[in-house]
Structure 1
């Protein structure tokens, strides 16, 4: 597993190509927990939840679509 927020060079074991990964940012469990706590107790500080670094980043092979790594965001 890598700890990258942005695409990086990787080789895919399935299609055996080297390429720049394709990323998707999604809201994981930590994001929802932080959102609930932030909205209840720290409403003015909830702007952090809009940042890309607060979301999970999934890295995929652009050729075959294999999930290569997940970088958990936030917590």
Structure 2
């Protein structure tokens, strides 16, 4: 019998040509930790045989389990970014942040600083007989509150002064 050289395969069953590595193995996709080499065929004495034929202990590998994401726990959240809304004295079409519906705001007029200043200035001019209360009837002199018609939430206020 001849002793095999370094270029010859070790004695044992020949499995024939092996398949080339897959794409994932080549580029190491999803390879989170090193995998230990496959055990060599041969006697199962617990010792591996080196190139020189002497026995050596198998290398010990520390492997850590990789958490596998749960396919059912993946949630997709759609985020809509809305530009800041400027409130003036006319209704605004927008998405209500309370009920998340597209609405046109309802307006409510309230006495503000301009209304009271107009009333005071009319009093100083001599309109004491009730004419000084006219600014409380004019919507163009009052502050405007914008409400959602669905959920009645206050969405914004336009102040004249």
| TM-score normalized by the length of structure 1 | 0.76
RMSD (Å) for aligned C-alpha atoms = 2.4
Greater strand share, structure number: 1
Q: Counterparts of 1:28 and 1:42 in 2: how far apart (Å)? A: 22
| 1:42–1:68 distance in 2 versus 1, CA, 3 Å | farther
Larger Rg: 2
**Alignment match of 2:146 (pick from 59, 62, 67):** 59
The SS at the match of 1:38 is helix
Larger RCO of the pair (alpha carbons < 8 Å, separation 6+):
1
Q: Deviations over 1:1-35 (max 9, x none)?
A: 62411111011111000111011011123312321
What does residue 7 of structure 1 align with? 91
| TM-score normalized by the length of structure 2 | 0.39
| 1:14–1:3 distance in 2 versus 1, CA, 3 Å | closer
Greater helix share, structure number: 1
Structure 2 residues not aligned, in runs of 5+: 1-84
- Report the count of equivalent residues: 73
